[in-house]
Structure 1
């Protein structure tokens, strides 16, 4: 695997910091505005094709090492169940399911189940935004007030700052939201209702001065997408990504009753006893920031599509990869709706009993996907991300 050296990390961080602030750029970093940095717009969307899985299986010895790494991570964090896959072009594939999807029901995890992928949804949402940029329907220099009224500092927060988590907007998960949610945990929230919790609220910081990861940033992008396209978010996602990419196992679900059974149950440890407790699900509280559900093979297709930039023009993907350090989730760098860890590009997801990791290595062409039904572990680790790193380590030791 390719290790990001300190010089590269500093350079990428510096460039993005200046871009996000909208100030004059350091010589050699990038052009003086995002409009100059972006490729010429085209009204014709880029053709999308589902990347095929590599033929055959990976060598037995490599499969054994991958299985052992997955099971070791599951044992370390007491993960009930998991589905995982590794795909290497020209070498083959390895997919597996381990443990229980439903402990109480004694239902084994399988490789064809549909799992909540949580914040991996953000990578889809920001991809939609960047597609619209490529088509000239909006600019990353646009301020959010051009599309959504009432956002504090909306006249200075750019769409790029929403996408890279440097906007400073308030989080909608506040005391008022939690009080309302407690009254009816089954209520299906609309995107407008989620974003209403941001409007008029004090900013966390001045735009472009810090990086704080919140769902609110991405849900506002969802509203921008709806405004520009004139369609609801789910329809745009289906038309622009899911259907063209053949993601038949991936759905934007806001009503948990629509979740296909049998499916995994999410678990979190009780803070007092440490015993794993099943979690009730209400994906509508996450919106375009986290309401997608997907299968292992759709995760494979998305990992490669995201990591190669197949949906975007090369210049747009290059801009997307400009990253910065962020407190959470666990990446080396967080870029524009995408994270980078030791040369792997992708996204993690976590919450309400589930963790997920979907990554692609542009240098080797390999992809890794891990879904697990446990979150919020005591040491705040991310089990699926830990498993992804362990699997990537096995590949590195094997020279893959």
Structure 2
């Protein structure tokens, strides 16, 4: 596949699904084409029964080991960590491969990682808190808060959070791709990112179709800043991370990356050759994909973002607002719905993330109260599919055959 800006769209939907240089920039997120879709929501997950996940017996764990190693070999993944937790069927936490191909340092569960488009779940959570506080309304137009947005007097905050704004995805702009890959450590401002998007015409009228666009989240980040009076990083730190008890999750200001972390391997480069991206500046993803976390924090966050509840039983956002978040209209991806900054794929709720060198998948299955987290140190596609999606598919086929995380391959670059 040619190394064009379109490839930088991967991450969430991608292959898409639950992640940016799109989706998950910050996540790349590979978004499906802007085709018309039904607005009918995906059917809600069944009442928790605990029967939707197999018991993690030694035999099942051996099956998981073999499946993970098989995906690694097939997709040439250097290192991966998988965490699967259930309330009564056991848990499974394993690391495979290497965190550093040069030194041979092994992958391990305690490493920090860049989470790409999973950042979107934090940004939208911040926005929904402001909704609960009465400071913003989901049906307010973005033009109320940010000047200069094409169709800004028609696009609502709800449509931005639900990927139905019609705005061009800045991370698919050729000029952006050249600027990023020519100097991967350069900083970008939110307004610079919007400039790449707004040079393109809108793709369709607001609300008409689903189209995964990182531009939407940059705008929502600006709304959070304006209406909270804090930087997005500070707001998320004090109002989301601290209450949720996420001590190893952060919104970096530049290319800082706490130790220990894996090196990241990407072919999203000016030459197309594979490079180590650990010190690249993720500011280009900002509210759509700049954040860092680790396996244990993502385990906690999976349930928190899917339910709106904190570990102590209190709520991060209100039950009424959470209910709106989980209305997940259909997308062009069969079996997948997208709500307010969150996916529902065959009952698994959450998001994926992808940006140069790193991918992640953090999902929660309410019907079994099960959590799956996958983190890995490459974003190089295999036959058009993101490796995080390949892992999610292989693992859920074993542990939850009635709820398989089966996202399709990334669409061809346009």
User: TM-score, normalization: structure 1?
Assistant: 0.80
Q: Is the 8 A contact 2:347 2:403 kept in 1?
A: no
Counterpart of 2:124 (choices 123, 126, 135) is: 126
If you compute each CA radius of gyration, which structure gives the higher value, 1 or 2?
Answer: 1
Cα deviation 1:136-159 (Å, max 9, x = unaligned): 111111000111000010000000
Count of matched residue positions in the alignment of Structure 1 and Structure 2: 348
Q: Shift in Å at residue 64 of structure 1?
A: 2.0
The Cα shift of 1:384 comes to 1.2
User: 1:143-182 counterparts in 2 under 5 A?
Assistant: 143-173=141-171, 174-181=173-180
Match in the other structure for 1:76: 74
Alignment of 1:1-400 (within 5 A): 13-15=38-40, 58-173=56-171, 174-181=173-180, 184-199=183-198, 201-256=200-255, 258-268=256-266, 276-279=274-277, 281-310=280-309, 311-326=316-331, 332-396=336-400
Could you say which structure has the greater relative contact order, defined with CA pairs below 8 angstroms and 6 or more residues apart?
2
User: Contact 1:152–1:201 at 8 Å: present in 2 too?
Assistant: no
* Aligned-partner SS, 1:197: helix
**Structure 2: gaps spanning 5 or more residues:** 1-36, 43-54, 310-315, 405-414
Tell me how far 1:331 sits from its aligned partner: 6.8
Q: Is the 8 A contact 1:269 1:378 kept in 2?
A: no
Query: How far apart in 2 are the matches of 1:193 and 1:72?
Result: 42
Rounded to whole Å, the distance in 2 between the matches of 1:362 and 1:80 is 31
Q: Provide TM-score, normalisation by structure 2.
A: 0.77
Structure 1 consecutive aligned stretches of length 4 or more whose deviation exceeds 6 Å: none
- 1:15 deviates by 4.5
Consecutive unaligned residues in structure 1, runs of 5 or more: 1-11, 18-56
Cα gap change, 1:163 to 1:397, in 2 (>3 Å): closer
Structure 1 residues 363, 274: CA separation in 2 closer, same or farther (over 3 Å shift)? same
Change (3 A) 1:136 1:383: same
2:385 aligned counterpart, secondary structure: coil
Alignment partner of 1:368: what SS?
A: strand
Q: Deviations over 1:275-309 (max 9, x none)?
A: 85433622111001000111000010011111222
- RMSD, aligned α-carbons: 2.8
